[in-house]
Structure 1
Amino acid sequence: MQNGEKSFNLNDVKSKAVLQLIKQLINEVTTITETFPLEKGQTTENLVQNVDSSILRFLKEADSAVENCPVARNNPRAVEKLRRALEDVRDTGQIMSKNGREFIRHSTSSPKRSNAVEAGRQLLNAVARFLIIADDIDVDVIVEKVDKIREIIKDLEQAESKTEVEELYQILVSQIEELDVTVRRRAIDLVKQNQQDDLLAARNALKSIAPILYTTTKTYVRHPEQIEAKTNRDFSMNEMHTALDAMENVLRGKLDTNIKFSEYGKIGDLINEIDLFQNRIEIEPSKYRDDKHRPELEELAERIVSGSASIADSESTRESRKQKIVAECNNLRQALQELLSEYEKSRGRNDNTDDVSLGIAQVHRKTKDLRRHLRRAIVDHISDAFLDTRTPLLLLIEAAKSGDAENTAHKSHMFQQHAEKIVHVARLSCRLSSDTEGVSVILHTAAQLANLAPRVSNAAFLLCSRPDSKTAQENMEAHKSLWFEKVRLLTTALDNITTLDDFLAVSEAHIVEDCNEGIQGVTAHAENIDQNIENCVRVDCAAGAIRGRALRVCDVVDSEMDFLQPSEYTENVKQAVRILREKRVTEFAARAGNLVDRQQATGLDWNSQDRDNEMNEFINACTLVHDAVKEIRHALLMNRSMHDVDSDNEYEEEGPEKAEKIQDEMENQQKLMRRLPEEDKKKIQAQIDIFKVTQTRFEREVAKWDETGNDIIVLANHMCKIMMNMTDFTRGCGPLKTTMDVIRSAQEISLAGSKLNALARQIGEESADSRSKNDLMAYLSEMTLYCQQLNICSKVKADVTQVGNELVVSALDSAMSLIQTARNLLTAVVQTVKAAYIASTKYRRPNAHSVRVEWRMAPPKKQPLVRPQKNAAIIRRASERRPLPPAKALAEFTCS
């Protein structure tokens, strides 16, 4: 919609309300010039009357709004501007009405149509200009309130007494509350999401820093000689001005805002490269080019290795975890080279082999293993850095209150190290997260904490120099409250992007580490008093770490269960948490405390017998906590199937079963499949990985079609689901428990295959003779053959024999055949669906009887409009799989 200087762009409209009004008028005006021929019941006169009535209604409401607007009393210039814009609307509306009537009387006249279109453009431009001017005036009203707050802050800067500061602060609070209501309403109405986020971030910054401005200003008035007082006062005022400037810039639609919350919302660089790598490795062998694809994939792999190395070399990464990351990086390189070699070989082969598919599956598996170790390394950092977020600051405040300058400086250094660590860990965690909203919160909060930490130390130094000053104490308390609030928000946001499985597995391993550290403190030989004190501190710190980790487990799991609907499952988990919190942690703390007291009292006379007894007691106390954490993890896994858990040690091997239970297990072949030798399990898993590659192709080609009105897609999806259950059976999981279940599933697949065959054959018969028709018939023959083979392979027999004290299960050949046949059948189904689509849409005979199937793209899965949240807090990301966001899901539906 261009018309010289009078043109406007819908993208420049900031308000949803204005945008909706403009779009509504566009629809009504364009109806006149585009609704020909008329639909049944429509008349040409009605079309023009609709526009006339809309214009009159708009003019009447606009006149009333201008008259009653508060700006009319305070800003005559703005009112005059609105009235001129409204006159333009009235004039262009009359022209539009005239030209519209002339056009509908001579609808075949090109000049009349051109005049009507041009009049419509003029009218829309006039209305848009009026609405945009009115919206800008609304923004001016808000900005006036922002300017009032700036004036109060300036007055605060010049205040000379405590009373004056308190009076100005009361006015400031009332002005901020008034602005807050208006800003929240404006944020909801903004069109662009990034502007909403930035405006709300500026609003929150303004509200959170106001108490700090009050205490720092009051402290500076009371102690102007202290450099820390002036530094903190200047910092808080600068933060207030930054928030106000950012708020005004967002309201004005400017991009140069200092609070860029929305810019933090980006997928982590490392996780993005891993996702890109996994998408790029799947190439059609015939399309592979060594000079193009090899350098590209090798470069992506090296970027992944480099990013992984930076995490492995971080301070809190355990040596064992570092070695695993290095090993998985090497495995990934090796798997990639093997895959590239298979691509090279496949170009010279005519036969179809599984080598490329197996290579792709192997790269995916190694990438998955690397992801897991990287996630665990990140959780290692989070667990250590956020184990105790309160003690460093509390120790600093305690030292400051005592007036000991040297100790305060030492505690301040410790606090600064703690702050730098949690900020570093927060930023590091975002490298492996695809949750853009969570990343925004984490990076924004981490930046705030990095700026706030030096001010907290300044407040402590000020308190140290004036420990009896009530003003200094209040100032320290305000900084402490703000620090803890931001740390709590950061902790919650980190929990939100961390899976519960990873957190519990890492916490359990860390408790074992702390237990070993405590044992070393108990068993260490002390040659003097200082060494004995050091050993006591070592044991005490280890005990405190174990207690802190256990309580953090309780808090995180309770938060997760509160988000779920109450059920027997949630009650069992909560019961396990209560046992840990109320019994095991309390008992452990008592035992550990008594042990440290005895160690301090005994001193250097701790003989070997006492040392062994105390070590055993400490181990027993740690075992209570460790077992309770393990019980929580087991309770959480009760609603999870084995293949849903991506972990090294989530499922532990069951102990030896009693002899009387062997017969019961022999009746459940699924359990016997779990007893296969590890070597056989690896062979089956290799076939499963290839099957998953085929399943991914199935989802790309078949699952993109809507099942409504398309029985071919209904049958294909049904067959795929059953085949997935059958392959799960070979791994000892899934809904199929016995051989008879597998046989019945095979029979069901055969029946569905027969229906699919009959329907697709009818489509083929109704299509013109072509190569596509011949391909369809060939694929149908393959599908029939594989259905018969699957019936035979479904009779999986798991035989159990006892050799010495060991049970030997043999079912490898049957399981391998079952998976291979299921994969072949799934491939045939995919090819059949593709050929049926081409035959029914491209080569359909003109005299065909009826359309048997409707080929429509499937819509994305429905997403809840509002996600229920508890206490308006950030909800942690649960461990189970989540559906794709609607926009991302929609992007996957592309026609072949």
Structure 2
Amino acid sequence: MVVKPGTHQVFNIDHVKSKAVYNLITQLIHEVTNITETFPLEKGQTAEDLVLAVEKSTGRFLHFGDQAIATVPVTQENHHVIDDLRRALDAVQDTGQKMLETGRNFVRDSTSSQKRATAIGVGRQFLNAVAYFLIIADATDVQIIVEKLENVRDLMNSLAKAESKAEVEEIYRILTAQIEDLDITIRKRIADLIEQSQKDNLLAARSVLRCTAPLVYASTKAYVRHPEQDESRRNRDYSHREMLDALDLMARMLRGEEPEGSFASHGRIGDLVNEIDLFQMRVEMDPQSYRREVHRPELEELAERIVSGSAAIADADSTRESRKQKIVAECNNLRQALQELLTEYEKSRGRYDENDDIPLGIAEVHRKAKDLRRHLRRAVVDHISDAFLDTKTPLMLLIEVAKCGDPEDTQHKAHLFRQHASKLIAVSRLACKMSSDTEGVSVILHTAEQLEKLAPEVVNAAYLLCARPDSKTAQENMEAFRKLWFDRVNLLTMAIDGITTLDDFLAVSEAHIVEDCNEGIQGITAHASSPEMNLKNCQRVDCAAGAIRGRALRVCAVVDAEMDFLQPSEYTENAKNAVRILRDNRVMEFSARAGDLVDRQQAMGLGWDATQKDEEMNEFINACTLVHEAVKGIRNALLMNRNMQDVDSDNEYEEDGQTAADTMSKISDQENQQRLMRRLPEEDKKKIQAQIDIFKVAQTRFEKEVAKWDETGNDIIVLAKHMCMIMMNMTDFTRGCGPLKTTMDVIRSAQEISVAGSKLNALAKQIGDESVDSQSKNDLMAYLSQITLYCQQLNICSKVKADVQQVGNELVVSGLDSAMSLIQTARNLLGAVVQTVKAAYIASTKFRRANSSSVRVEWRMAPPRKQPLVRPQKNNAIIRRASERRPLPPAKALAEFTMRR
């Protein structure tokens, strides 16, 4: 039982484990504390009638309690439960009678404070007694479920002792009925539980129970039929142990215990991503609170732990050399950015003037951490792409050779299968290091743990089949283990897909297709000095072609699953069309051409000359290009629904996304200055990015100040948000992205900001005129003059001139100075708007004239973000997440909300 309280104890709501009991108790407390609303007195009724109504309600409760106790199945194990229920119900009756007596005394003399206090105390005792009865009733339900678990356990023990096939079948028939009945009861209990961890653990144990039952049947029959084989005994022991462990986990969770190694205990943020998050959080601090002897060693140690964890991923087997070099470079960049930031912190000690050096240094550290995250994610996806490319072939080959009864070949294929299983498990755990999805991590680690225990038993089943290839029971045993292995591998694959972003997966798949193409070319062009060497070259080309085909089909499956999860739209249709082109046309054509090429190479033997090799190589490259271009088509179709800021990827992503977007634009190359801004030299882009980082600092300050105010009835906040949105679009133009395409768009945006600034000036000036003379009023007027000045400067700087000139063999794009000035002026204007909002608030609330009758603006805190009352239902299957969306800045989100409203 969960709890055995006595009536003298104080009620504790933490004892409640189920929603039903919790809702009953809270409703009861509400009804008693609001008794006049629960039992409203009609005209002519008195307080005595209210006491009678409570008496009738108490009597009904006692009556239904008696009926419920009478329906409890009495067994030798739970007879004490019945006694506890009786005692708890008697306590309800006793405290109820006492409450009615004191209630009558109180209503007869309601002015007596002593009688009121007595009535309250007795009422509290009555509530405690009812709550304890409900808790014990819930504990009784738990005890009944535990007894069902014990019945299944007894049947499992009987099954382990069975000595004939008929006895196994008879016990298993009863066992399946018991499991079905238990499963229905467990499902109801899961739906009624309050704590999510208990739900997850019970769901995991229930899944193991249902999946392992067929395995118990097959392995037990195999052991009864072939007791002389050690493999059959190991299979039987494994399946029985899994069932008993699941039953034990269920029993402990139902009793309220928290077992070690449970499903919920796996749910945690990956170690490496957690350290990166912690590092990014710790680097931000008040410069005046910085202490060299404390913060420098702490941050440097944290950075070294990140570098150490990154090195483990970089040094893994499937990490490409190019990716390893990028990880090493980004680790060094992160160290360098941290040292520069710490130096700025130390320079700022004792200084109270604001400067942008520290915010810019923080932004640089965040950017380097973001770059490191991207390369680490890509390295992990490299491993995932290789390990999960073909999850069926190793086991199928093992089963095929086992059926032939060849011990030596079976042992060899078993070794390959173990390597494959070990790689799946290792890659799964590696993927969890870079994931913040605790639910997905729980599924992956739990499933990987199950596969780790299952893999040796799959090999044992294959050895048993090899020793008795003609035995039907050995075949059925192998089939049961095969099905369970594939089911859990499919679950692991879906879970891995769930924590892997679609952008990362597609970019890595595309890069791997290029690698496989190069591998095939080397197989074609390699010199064959003997027939054996020629055969190896043919196999090399065949393996490369098979890998390309497998990667392409996996891309199709993953994107189709993602599109099925989204609402049908033009975007999903375009993506599905791109998938159909790859799967139905390009893959089939590539397979046919690659197969013909391998056949011709094998037929030619050592007779190829240089001309033929060049022709075959070109043909293979052309075939690979079909698949590669189709994969790029899928990627471009997916990028059409993304903003440039949503793509946290390598440079090729940004270029492809912009190219796809530009093809949709009707603006000519001569008119599209935004495209020309993207063609600035890398050094100029870095300079612009440095100014953008400083602008982001000012934008963050703006959002913290402005987003906390409700814009309803406050035109100052509305105008400020509007100006910020336009300035963000203008700064995006300097990076070659955003909605502004031409110089005229930028000029019109600057004019729009000037109009909004004039309105803001007029409104704030009215607020200043209605306030008393003070320093705050003077500050407000000074900030208003700054807004006017910066709006004029922005009009001048908005005439960004982007031209392309041919200098030697290079294209040079001008416009850097104007772009830099545009960003700097926008930052200054944003800062002036923030100060104006602060000064306007102080002037209108603290220094407002007493005789001022009109209220220009209303300063109210913004309401918290609304949450949906009904959450959309999701599929039970784990769906791959699309490219992870970054949360919108508050001002931008509020602006979009205003536009939709």
TM-score (normalised: structure 2): 0.90
Out of 191, 195, 198, the position equivalent to 1:195 is 198
Residue equivalent to 2:487: 485
- 1:407 maps onto 2:409 in alignment: yes
| Identity value in percent | 69
The Cα shift of 1:511 comes to 0.8
Q: 1:775 to 1:145 in 2, by over 3 A?
A: farther
| 8 Å CA contact 2:51, 2:104 repeated in 1 | no
Tell me how far 1:667 sits from its aligned partner. 2.5
Q: 2:291 aligns with which of 283, 289, 292?
A: 289
Which one of the candidate residues 133, 144, 149 is aligned to 2:147? Answer: 144
Residue equivalent to 2:57: 57
1:524-543 matches, cutoff 5 A: 524-543=526-545
What is the letter of the counterpart of residue 276 of structure 1?
Answer: L
**Structure 1 residues 188 and 700, CA gap change in structure 2 (3 angstroms):** farther
Structure 1 Cα separation of the partners of residues 108 and 308 of structure 2: 73
Q: 2:671 aligns with which of 667, 670, 674?
A: 667
Q: Does 1:856 align with 2:861?
A: yes
> 2:729·2:739 contact (CA, 8 Å) conserved in 1?
yes
2: distance between equivalents of 1:850 and 1:376?
Answer: 60
Q: Which residue of 1 aligns with 2:165?
A: 162
Q: Deviation string for 1:7-48 (max 9, x for gaps)? A: 231112101111111112222333479x9xxxx999999899
Q: CA separation of 1:520/1:348 partners in 2, compared to 1, >3 Å: closer, same or farther?
A: same
Please name the residue that 2:132 is paired with.
129
**For 2:465 and 2:370, how far apart are their aligned partners in 1?**
52
Q: Return the match for 1:17 from 7, 20, 35.
A: 20
2:444 paired residue number = 442
Match of 2:699 in 1: 695
Superposed CA deviations along residues 516-561 of structure 1, whole A, max 9, x for unmatched, are 1111122222222332222222222111111111111111111111
Distance 1:757 1:51 in 2: 68
- TM-fit CA distance, 1:638: 1.7
Which whole-Å CA distance do the structure 2 matches of 1:603 and 1:273 have between them? 56
- Cα deviation code 1:807-846 (max 9, x no counterpart): 5432222221221222222233334444555666677788
Q: Which residue does the alignment assign to 2:234?
A: 231
User: In the aligned structure 1, how far is the partner of 2:112 from the partner of 2:492?
Assistant: 67
Structure-2 residue corresponding to 1:326: 328
Cα deviation code 1:102-125 (max 9, x no counterpart): 667877865455434422321221
Q: Retained in 2: the 8 A contact 1:736–1:742?
A: yes
Matches within 5 A, 1:440-589: 440-589=442-591
The alpha-carbon deviation at position 695 of structure 1 amounts to: 2.4
Per the TM alignment, residue 789 of structure 1 is displaced from its structure 2 partner at its CA by: 3.1
What is the aligned partner in structure 1 of residue 798 from structure 2? 794
> Does the 8 Å contact 1:30/1:120 carry over to 2?
no
Between 289-298 and 136-145, the greater mean CA deviation after superposition: 289-298
Q: How far apart in 2 are the matches of 1:766 and 1:152?
A: 86
1:606-651 per-position Cα deviation (integer Å, ceiling 9, x unaligned): 3333322222222222122112111211221122232321111113
Query: 1:755-770 alignment to 2 at 5 Å?
Result: 755-757=759-761
Match of 1:731 in 2: 735
> What does residue 180 of structure 1 align with?
183
Task: Give 3-state SS (helix, strand or coil) of 1:432's partner.
Answer: coil
1:665 alignment partner, SS class: coil
1:92 counterpart residue number? 95
With over 3 angstroms needed to count, the CA separation of the structure-2 counterparts of 1:126 and 1:306, relative to structure 1, is same
For 1:643-654, list aligned pairs within 5 A: 643-648=645-650, 649-652=652-655
- Mark the CA change 1:46 to 1:531 in structure 2 (over 3 Å): closer, same or farther: farther
**Pairing partner for 2:216 from 213, 217, 224:** 213
Amino acid at match of 1:746: A
User: How far apart are the structure 1 equivalents of 2:271 and 2:180?
Assistant: 39
- Spell out, residue by residue over 1:283-322, the C-alpha distance to the aligned partner (whole angstroms, 9 max, x if none): 2333333233222222221121111111111111111101
- Whether 1:305 and 2:307 are equivalent positions in the alignment is yes
Q: Which runs of 5+ in 1 are unaligned?
A: 890-896
In structure 2, the residue matched to 1:894 is none
Q: Which amino acid aligns with 1:364?
A: H
Q: Is the 8 A contact 2:55 2:100 kept in 1?
A: no
Cα distance in 1, alignment partners of residues 546 and 55 from structure 2: 74
Deviates more, 1:380-389 or 1:247-256: 247-256
SS of equivalent to 2:403? helix
- Cα distance in structure 1, aligned partners of 2:86 and 2:848: 63
- Quote how far apart the aligned CAs of 1:721 are: 2.0
User: Equivalent residue for 2:123?
Assistant: 120
Instruction: For 1:549 and 1:822, locate their aligned partners in 2 and report how far apart those are by CA, in whole Å.
Output: 47
RMSD over aligned Cα atoms: 3.3
- Using the alignment, how far apart are the partners of 1:458 and 1:515 within structure 2? 38
Aligned residue identity for 2:802: A
Q: Secondary structure at the match of 2:813?
A: strand
Distance of aligned partners of 1:52 and 1:757 in 2 relative to their CA distance in 1, 3 Å threshold:
farther
Tell me, yes or no, if the aligned pair for 2:7 and 2:88 is still in contact at 8 Å. Answer: no
Q: Could you say what secondary structure the match of 1:302 adopts?
A: helix
For this pair of structures, how many residues does the alignment match? 876
Q: Which moved more, 1:2-11 or 1:740-749?
A: 2-11
Q: Return the offset for 1:593.
A: 1.8
The letter for the 2-side match of 1:866 is R
* Map of 1:600 onto structure 2: 602
User: What letter corresponds to residue 856 of structure 1 in structure 2?
Assistant: M
Tell me which moved more, 791-800 or 219-228: 791-800
The structural deviation recorded for 1:759 is: 5.1
Match of 2:254 in 1: 251
Conserved in 2, the CA contact under 8 Å of 1:400 and 1:467?
A: yes
Offset of residue 675 of structure 1: 2.9
Match of 2:828 among 824, 827, 830: 824
Q: What's the secondary structure of 2:568's corresponding residue? A: coil
Q: Tell me which amino acid in the other structure corresponds to 2:138.
A: D
2:67 is aligned with what amino acid?
E
SS at match of 2:303: helix
Residue identity in the other structure for 1:726: M
Decide whether aligned partners of structure 1 residues 789 and 652 sit closer, same or farther in structure 2, where only a CA change above 3 A counts.
Answer: closer
Tell me the TM-score normalised to structure 1 length.
Answer: 0.91
- Contact residue 228 and residue 462 of structure 1 kept, 8 A: yes
The CA distance in 2 between the partners of 1:695 and 1:755, in whole Å, is 21
Rounded to whole Å, the distance in 1 between the matches of 2:92 and 2:722 is 60
Q: Of the candidates 3, 8, 12, which is equivalent to residue 11 of structure 2?
A: 8
State how far apart, in whole Å, the 2-side matches of 1:353 and 1:846 are: 39
Q: Which segment drifts farther, 828-837 or 639-648?
A: 828-837
**Alpha-carbon distance in 2 for matches of 1:307, 1:86:** 60
Partners of 2:96 and 2:714 lie apart in 1 by: 50
Query: Residue 809 in 1 paired to residue 793 in 2?
Result: no
Q: Which moved more, 1:470-479 or 1:87-96?
A: 87-96
Contact 1:687 1:819 in 2 (8 A): yes
Q: Which moved more, 1:808-817 or 1:405-414?
A: 808-817
Secondary structure of 1:650 counterpart: helix
Q: Which deviates the most, 483-492 or 732-741?
A: 732-741
Query: CA deviation digits over 1:847-871, x for unaligned, max 9?
Result: 875774243353235358434435x
User: Are 2:513 and 2:628, in contact at CA under 8 Å, matched by a contact in 1?
Assistant: yes
- Output the CA distance in 1 between the equivalents of 2:52 and 2:804: 87
Alignment of 1:8-47 (within 5 A): 8-31=11-34
Match of 2:874 in 1: 869
Which stretch of the first structure deviates more once superposed, 533-542 or 76-85? Answer: 76-85
Give the SS at the match of 1:604: coil
